[in-house]
Structure 1
Amino acid sequence: MHPIVIIGSGMAGYTVAREFRKLNAEQELVMICADDAANYAKPTLSNALAGNKAPAQIALGDAAKMASQLNMRIETHTWVKAIDAEAHVLELEKEGVSSQQPYSKLVLAVGANPVRLAIAGDGSDDIHVVNNLSDYTAFRQQLEQRQDKRVVILGAGLIGCEFANDLQQTGHQVTVIDLAPQPLGRLLPDYVASAFKQNLEETGIHFVLGTTVEKVSKIKNDDYLVTITSGQSLIADVVLSAIGLQPNIALAKTAGIETSRGVLTNAQLETSQADIYAVGDCAEVNGILLPYVMPIMQQARALAKTLNGETTQVHYPAMPVAVKTPAAPLTVLPAPLGVDVNWHTEEFDDGMIARAYDQTDTLRGFVLLGATAAKQRLSLTKLVPDLLPVSE
């Protein structure tokens, strides 16, 4: 019997391995990853400064520790060059040496890649993206070398706002630039986004919205001149891009696996190729793409059972997302794509609740801004129908 092979050592890959080991201690497991396979929670990167955590303190275990803990062989710094889905074999490359790895079942936990804007200027190559721990380590190193602590963030989405809050709380001067008219424009109705923005501005975060960055140039003292299409410019010590993520579908495509925005799977997380599954940020499950922690946990539990011979559908209950912006406490449960909703708002001294109702007056999503509203999280979540119910 060939091993079950997991490609990717992020939260999705490790959670599948951990859940599978709860059910099966013996079946051979192999993890293949292009990096050092350190086990850490990626969401902790965007609030590590305020938590006083150095990059070296973020990893929970290295590859050797995880291999021992999970009784699993971990191949680090190894690239999967191709998947032969028919023969159930992977073509690998490590340090220039090619090899093959057969599998009985294959799990794609390959995550997502940062979206990069085409930006002119001789400083554009120095723009940081933080998609993993080594990216974050490089970002922190540059931050610590600079005196003035002026940080420009490209992107006012979830990650951009979390980093802005974390940096501002730790003595940095933060400017956030986005083409959208409001932060978190895709998740929040306008009036909630406006209140959220105001809360962050009160901490000193500066937003430049409705425009984008044209050019990043190196100037004296290792500073950067950030030129905006609206004509103004800013001086920065560090520039961070947090435009968003795109599911990593390249490897799946070469294997003839059907893809759309992500790697397409059914409710059992099966792809269009036999014995190949997808989980985490790369997986588009029944048309739903949810790059958050709770969906990964739900996927991993279901897939572990399936890999152990008990075919199981993933179940998505309503799963609110807590945004790590303590200056403006925010919890969001987005309404499903394609559902028309009307917003009803209740205001408090420290924030508001916005409820999204569909045409049948069913609660389909909500936004909680502020500490008072946050107390309603559990009671409201219970009222929202499952996003992906378990069929009989």
Structure 2
Amino acid sequence: MPQQSVVIVGSGLAGYAVARELRRLNTDIQVTLLSADHGGFYSKPMLSNALATGKTPDSILNAEAGKMADQLNIVIRPYTRVDAIDAVEERVLLENGERLGYGRLVLALGADPVRLAIPGEGADEIVSVNDLDDYRHFRERIEGKRHIAILGAGLIGCEFANDLAAKGYQVSVFDLSPQPLGRLLPEQAGQFLQEKLALAGVNFLLGKTVDKIGKTDGGYRLFYQDEQFVEADVVLSAIGLRPRIGLAEAAGISVKRGIQVDRYLQSSIQNIHALGDCAEVDGKVLPFIMPITHAGRALAATLAGTPTRLHYPAMPVLVKTPGCPTVVSPPDPHMEGEWQIETSQDGVKALFQDAAGNLLGFALLGTATSERQTLTPRLPPILA
């Protein structure tokens, strides 16, 4: 394989972002994209609000692998797993024993759902949604069911809860945090979100952990504090994601929370790059659409011959909870400041400011989301 060839491992938003941008900049570089699944292109963030928007699993898929290969003039190999990376020989070892050479290797491996070690005979049947195949299975499981229990009141848990409640499901959400979006919102904002989603039909059991999941006839019994329990037809885990670092770590690439890369998305081994949910850029793991888009554009330019340092502007996160519209730009945890919060019946405006009054972050809920465009330019870049 030619030295300039690029092999991309992963067919999610990150992998396709690099392929699309690289092909836009250069039509000659040979690009091979390896996908562990069907390799089709779709927007993973759509999965958490597909019910309310009327999207079926089939309609979420934008294009199958063959169509994407034709559009981008690249080679796409679906259902192709990489077992190991030989960084010395610059080859990847595939599950079928094939050794595929590369000039540059791009790891867009994504992340795996965090699974809690919960005892009980029903624990093995907890569902998680991390890709389109998972979502298809989830939709089949909830068909004709009534009560869905969700483990986790973070961003994905709240989005699924709102989506399910909007379609008439009874929804119970467990989280150890005393409020939903506990890592993103100040207390008053979290309380406002909880109240609005409760009005939409979501029952929060906060400050509580599920101690055991038993099975009933056709459903599950989730035990929590003092042997109290909730019965549900399906249990969905939305605890969070853990970057896929095993393949890189086994190859001797430096990892911490994610695969460590510099501002050029270069790993500790020459000619191996990483981006997306699996990557840790200058200590930051940002599993959101906009960081992936910026990283894909910068890495494509580098691969095309123009080394490009990654820059992250302020990138507020839109939480897809129509029952309580929410936009948040969480402050860097290392920055010193205080929340200044204004509340009303219809919204919450929370600004995180330093002693000089500089805006370092915000949380806007309800009608206050209208101020997003005004406030965002005042925020500092995430990576200057």
- Shift of residue 160, structure 1, vs aligned partner: 0.2
Q: Which amino acid aligns with 2:303?
A: L
- Shift of residue 235, structure 1, vs aligned partner: 1.0
- Shift of residue 231, structure 1, vs aligned partner: 2.1
- Partner secondary structure for residue 361 of structure 2: strand
Contact 2:338–2:353 (8 Å) recurs in 1: yes
Q: Which amino acid aligns with 2:168?
A: G
- Partner secondary structure for residue 382 of structure 1: helix
Question: TM-score, normalising length from structure 2?
Answer: 0.98
Q: C-alpha distance in 2, partners of 1:201/1:326?
A: 12
Tell me the residue number matched to 1:128. 127
Say which of 204, 207, 212 aligns to 1:210: 207
- Shift of residue 288, structure 1, vs aligned partner: 1.3
- Shift of residue 240, structure 1, vs aligned partner: 0.2
Q: Which amino acid aligns with 2:205?
A: V
Q: Which amino acid aligns with 2:132?
A: L
- Shift of residue 230, structure 1, vs aligned partner: 4.0
Q: C-alpha distance in 1, partners of 2:119/2:293?
A: 40
Q: C-alpha distance in 2, partners of 1:352/1:211?
A: 26
String of CA shifts for 1:133-157, please: whole Å, max 9, x gaps: 01110000011142xx100000000
Tell me the residue number matched to 1:118. 117
- Partner secondary structure for residue 92 of structure 2: strand
Question: TM-score, normalising length from structure 1?
Answer: 0.96
Contact 1:46–1:162 (8 Å) recurs in 2: yes
Q: Which amino acid aligns with 1:215?
A: K
Q: Which amino acid aligns with 2:89?
A: A
String of CA shifts for 1:247-286, please: whole Å, max 9, x gaps: 1111110111111111111111111000111110111111
Contact 1:211–1:230 (8 Å) recurs in 2: no
Q: C-alpha distance in 1, partners of 2:343/2:173?
A: 27
- Shift of residue 205, structure 1, vs aligned partner: 0.8
Contact 2:265–2:273 (8 Å) recurs in 1: yes
String of CA shifts for 1:28-49, please: whole Å, max 9, x gaps: 1001121111211000000000
Count residues in correspondence: 382
Q: Which amino acid aligns with 1:383?
A: R
Superposition pairs of residues 344-359 of structure 1, within 5 angstroms: 344-359=340-355
- Shift of residue 223, structure 1, vs aligned partner: 1.5
Contact 1:46–1:163 (8 Å) recurs in 2: yes
Q: C-alpha distance in 1, partners of 2:272/2:358?
A: 37
Q: C-alpha distance in 1, partners of 2:195/2:151?
A: 18
Tell me the residue number matched to 1:198. 195
- Shift of residue 219, structure 1, vs aligned partner: 1.1
Q: Which runs of 5+ in 1 are unaligned?
A: none
Tell me the residue number matched to 1:382. 377
Tell me the residue number matched to 1:59. 61
Superposition pairs of residues 134-283 of structure 1, within 5 angstroms: 134-146=133-145, 149-220=146-217, 222-283=218-279
- Shift of residue 337, structure 1, vs aligned partner: 2.5
Q: Which amino acid aligns with 2:66?
A: A
Contact 2:192–2:348 (8 Å) recurs in 1: no
Contact 1:330–1:367 (8 Å) recurs in 2: yes
Flag as ranges the 4+ runs of structure 1 deviating above 4 A: none
* RMSD across aligned positions (CA): 1.0
Identity of aligned residues (%): 49
Q: Which amino acid aligns with 1:30?
A: T
Q: C-alpha distance in 1, partners of 2:297/2:101?
A: 24
Q: 1:275 to 1:230 in 2, by over 3 A?
A: farther
- Shift of residue 186, structure 1, vs aligned partner: 0.7
- Partner secondary structure for residue 171 of structure 1: coil
